[in-house]
């Protein structure tokens, strides 16, 4: 290890990026003043992982496991990431969906140690100087939220900080972004959640949300400050309310290096799933009718990327849009509805007004995509109707956390007599039905955004474009093997996610080069170059 200065003794053990705990060798213990501060035995990192997992599994609830993992990250960052990477299928659901939803709800009650950066309306005029308080100067990835639409849980205010923290942990674990490049930010503009504001332990700005020009001025000051302090930083907008998410992306996407994961990342992972599902059903994407239940930013983001894919397959855009249908809380989205939200207008058909069940009967979709945040929206009747119309109906229940999933994997398989092609936003265990084992794939954005981020950082991209997400979707779909499809999984195993992210990063860099958006000199051996940038937590 090389350091600008050599800390000693407890300072070394208290620095989570330097600490190796019992893995320090005898020579290191002498050099760093650690003799007498550690038990005798030198214990390698592999052995430390065994102890970590033993203690993790001893916890009685997932929220306790989440707290345990956060504490490990605070004291030994490399052991934390080594454990996550080595046990990704077991640990990722604890760090992110579904457990992160509960962690956000309880954030102010389980708070242990300050992590991340908080900006409130009281900080107007000072954001740039505040950024100097952050200990790292070379930030490459920022995840920012205002906490207004956390997963399917709604307005959680400052408690939503669990989302940027969790997403950035996945950037590191799943794609090898260097931890010191990461910066979680909460735009704490208040909350309209009365229960939170009345909670005596709530840690956030205890006022109703600011809105209008005051809100935009605060966001703009933050974006401007970031451009000055961290000019190479990729900004990921996360869990903003639909109208806000769309307007922020539209406003900033051509001005700064940014994207919205709920809109673009979700779209890419869903499209990849549709590409894979077509290999099972044998029905080309251009021959499918796709119905969404829910018409927020995630839904229309998926819809737009599907349209782009259909256009690439040779359809005119107006014809491509005819394949996409939306059902919201008022029923089928149709052109003659009054006060139709702007983001829904491109998908509004000249059609009669129908409820959800009537829409399925009339449109007869091949694919049903749930992004409604309504747990149980795909009832037995819905699944059976889909199965009655198609030999292999595609059912995506993408809402998070698990309690908001439109149906479970078991329900999808049972109600379709084992014929459904199923994927979900939250993880589900394998299902035994009709003498066959199904391993449902999780359409987790972690398959997309870490690799996209790695590619953007590797190329020093000046902008993020939708073409990059199309490339990411195609690359992800190509990583799905025939063996995966045989057990009903539309995504590769999570244990392979770092390799998947590497391939996505490579595809993104190629797009960056083609679109002349690179600011870094990129060697010819692209895969070796990107792989060399990836963080290795081993010691």
The set of residues, in sequence order, having a beta carbon less than 8 Å from that of 378 and lying 6+ positions away, is 293, 368, 370, 395, 397, 406, 407, 411, 412
Asked whether the beta carbons of 382 and 360 are under 8 A apart, the reply is yes
Task: State the SS3 of 355-405.
Answer: CHHHHHHHHCCCEEEECCCCCCCCCHHHHHHHHHHCCCCEEEECCCCHHHC
Residue 265 DSSP label: I
Q: Is the backbone peptide bond immediately before 98 cis, with ω within 30 degrees of 0? A: yes
Cα 450 to chain centroid distance, Å, stands at 8
Residue 539 DSSP label: -
421-424: strand order across its sheet: 331-332, 324-328, 290-293, 367-370, 394-397, 421-424, 441-442
Catalytic residues: 96, 167
Exposed/middle/buried for residue 523 (C-beta within 10 Å: 0-12, 13-18, 19+) = exposed
| DSSP line for 442-483 | E--GGGTHHHHHHHHHHHT-S---HHHHHHHHHHHHHT--HH
The set of residues, in sequence order, having a beta carbon less than 8 Å from that of 465 and lying 6+ positions away, is 511, 515, 517
Residue 184 three-state SS: strand
Residue 91 three-state SS: helix
Token output for 487: 């057990």
Among candidate residues 349, 236, 301, 237, the one with its CA nearest the CA of residue 466: 301
Q: How far apart are CA 211 and CA 213, in angstroms?
A: 7
Q: How far apart are CA 415 and CA 417, in angstroms?
A: 6
Q: How far apart are CA 421 and CA 393, in angstroms?
A: 6
Residues listed for the chain: 539
Exposed/middle/buried for residue 414 (C-beta within 10 Å: 0-12, 13-18, 19+) = middle
């Amino acid at each position: 290890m090389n350091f600008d200065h050599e800390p000693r003794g407890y300072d070394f053990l208290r620095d989570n990026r330097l600490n190796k705990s019992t893995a320090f060798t005898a020579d290191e213990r002498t050099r760093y003043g650690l003799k007498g501060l550690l038990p005798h035995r030198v214990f390698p990192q592999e052995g430390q992982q065994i102890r970590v997992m033993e203690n993790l599994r001893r916890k009685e609830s997932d929220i306790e496991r989440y707290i345990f993992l956060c504490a490990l990250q605070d004291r030994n960052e490399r052991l934390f990431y080594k454990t996550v990477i080595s046990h990704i299928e077991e640990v990722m659901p604890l760090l992110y969906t579904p457990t992160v939803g509960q962690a956000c709800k309880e954030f102010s009650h389980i708070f242990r140690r300050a992590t991340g950066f908080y900006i409130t309306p009281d900080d107007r005029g000072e954001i740039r100087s505040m950024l100097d308080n952050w200990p790292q100067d070379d930030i490459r990835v920022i995840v920012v939220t205002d906490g207004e639409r956390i997963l399917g849980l709604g307005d959680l205010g400052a408690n939503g900080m669990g989302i940027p923290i969790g997403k950035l942990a996945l950037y590191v674990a799943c794609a090898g972004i260097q931890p010191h490049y990461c910066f979680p930010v909460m735009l704490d503009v208040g909350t309209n959640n009365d229960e939170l504001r009345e909670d005596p332990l709530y840690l956030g700005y205890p006022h109703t949300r600011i809105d209008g020009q005051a809100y935009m001025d605060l966001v703009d000051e933050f974006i401007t400050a970031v451009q000055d302090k961290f000019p190479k930083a990729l900004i990921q907008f996360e869990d903003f309310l639909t109208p806000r998410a769309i307007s922020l992306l539209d406003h900033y996407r051509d001005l700064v290096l940014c994207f919205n994961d709920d809109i673009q990342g979700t779209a890419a992972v869903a499209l990849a799933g549709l590409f894979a599902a077509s290999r099972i059903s044998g029905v080309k994407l251009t021959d499918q009718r796709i119905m969404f239940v829910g018409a927020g930013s995630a839904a229309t983001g998926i819809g737009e990327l599907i349209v782009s894919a259909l256009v690439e397959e040779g359809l005119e855009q107006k014809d491509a849009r005819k394949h996409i249908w939306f059902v919201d809380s008022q029923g089928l989205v149709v052109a003659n509805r009054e006060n139709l939200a702007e983001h829904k207008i491109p998908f509004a058909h000249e059609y009669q007004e129908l409820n959800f069940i009537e829409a399925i009967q009339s449109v007869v979709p091949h694919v049903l995509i749930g992004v409604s945040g309504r747990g149980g929206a795909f009832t037995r009747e819905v699944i059976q109707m889909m199965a009655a119309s198609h030999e292999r109906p595609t059912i995506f229940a993408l809402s998070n956390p698990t309690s908001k999933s439109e149906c479970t994997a078991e329900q999808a398989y049972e109600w379709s007599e084992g014929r459904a092609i199923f994927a979900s936003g939250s993880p589900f265990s394998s299902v035994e039905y009709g003498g066959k084992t199904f391993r449902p794939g999780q359409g987790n954005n972690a398959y997309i955004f870490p690799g996209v981020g790695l590619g953007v950082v590797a190329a020093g991209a000046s902008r993020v474009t939708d073409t990059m997400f199309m490339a990411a979707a195609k690359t992800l779909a190509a990583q799905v093997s025939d063996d995966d499809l045989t057990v009903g999984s539309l995504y590769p195993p999570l244990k392979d996610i770092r390799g998947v992210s590497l391939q996505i990063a490579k595809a993104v860099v190629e797009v960056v080069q083609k679109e002349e958006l690179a600011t870094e000199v990129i060697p010819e051996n692209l895969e070796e170059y990107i792989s060399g940038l990836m963080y290795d937590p081993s010691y």
